[in-house]
Amino acid sequence: MKTIEDVPLDHLIGMEVGTSTILKELARGGSAAVFIAFQRTLKRQIAIKILPKTLLTPEIAERFQMEAESAAILSHPNIIPIYEVGETGDFLFIAMQLIHGHSLSQHIKAAKKHVLPSRRYIPVETTVTIMTQVLDGLDYAHHQDIIHRDIKPGNILIESLSKRPIILDFGIAKVSRGLEHESSVIQGTPFYMPPEQIRNEAADRRTDIYASGMMLFEMLVSDLPLPRVHPVDLLLLKLKQGDRLFKTTPSEMNPRAHPDMDRIVFKAIAFDPGDRFASCAEFRMALLDYQDRHPGKQI
């Protein structure tokens, strides 16, 4: 099966795309590549995400278009701004703000390599700061009837200077307003998918709450206490185990986390959507309350 890694893209350097000129390749992943470009109209560097049509299937094209349409209507400091959407004879593209930073997944991996075992996870205070901002962005999107459906550390970019977390890739977002049916294909990342998404049931804001809860858990402990199994087996295990999926709590794995954090995490990732936080705003307030009750030094 052909992937983005198999597609030669060097010829795009110097090409004019929309109102921009492509300068250099930045990254590849999934079915798309990201380039740094110069937007001639406003004289600034931007990022352009490109999907070659040689990889195009109706499902991927629809997903890519949905990413653009979903994100383009959102305006929030923790959501990537979209500038332009279009296509050429060879590819589809989305022009967006160029953010200098690293993904949250890279920060988690870097912490895991720390020489001191006690520092092999992101500090609790930093975790709470990141998560409250992510939840604020998601709550805003939810009020626009948009569900992300693929929240994970790889889709959160931490800006280098401000340390601001920015939500990326609304590529499989569901626009709730006016959508009458769901795709028959399961979409998402197994680690972070809630049971209802595995069963291909309708997604709502609690889908993002579950994924955010799993991400919170991972930030607190670096390695989620899950068996190393095939992704399909993990999905089946989630359905079978329900709320018994985890045998270890965050506070047992991270001595700097208070047991109060366990209650927040497990409420967010409850098997039954009705047992989770009712909104990202409620989830965020629980974390802010935790921060007030358990203040600590930012490290």
Closest CA to 70 of 208, 239, 228, 267: 208
Q: 102, 166 in Cβ contact below 8 A?
A: no
Residue of 136, 139, 150, 208 marked catalytic: 150
HEC profile for the chain?
A: CCCHHHCCCHHHCCCEECCEEEEEEEEEECCEEEEEEEECCCCEEEEEEEEEHHHCCHHHHHHHHHHHHHHHCCCCCCECCEEEEEECCCEEEEEEECCCEEEHHHHHHHHHCCCCHHHCCCCHHHHHHHHHHHHHHHHHHHHCCEECCCCCHHHEEEECCCCCEEECCCCCCEECCCCCCCCCCCCCCHHHCCHHHHCCCCCCHHHHHHHHHHHHHHHHHCCCCCCCCCHHHHHHHHHHHHHHCCCCCHHHHCCCCCHHHHHHHHHHCCCCHHHCCCCHHHHHHHHHHHHHHCCCCCC
Catalytic: 150? yes
Buried-exposed string 229-251: b where 16+ CB fall within 10 A, e elsewhere: eeeeebbeebeeeeeebbeebbb
* Residues known to be catalytic: 150
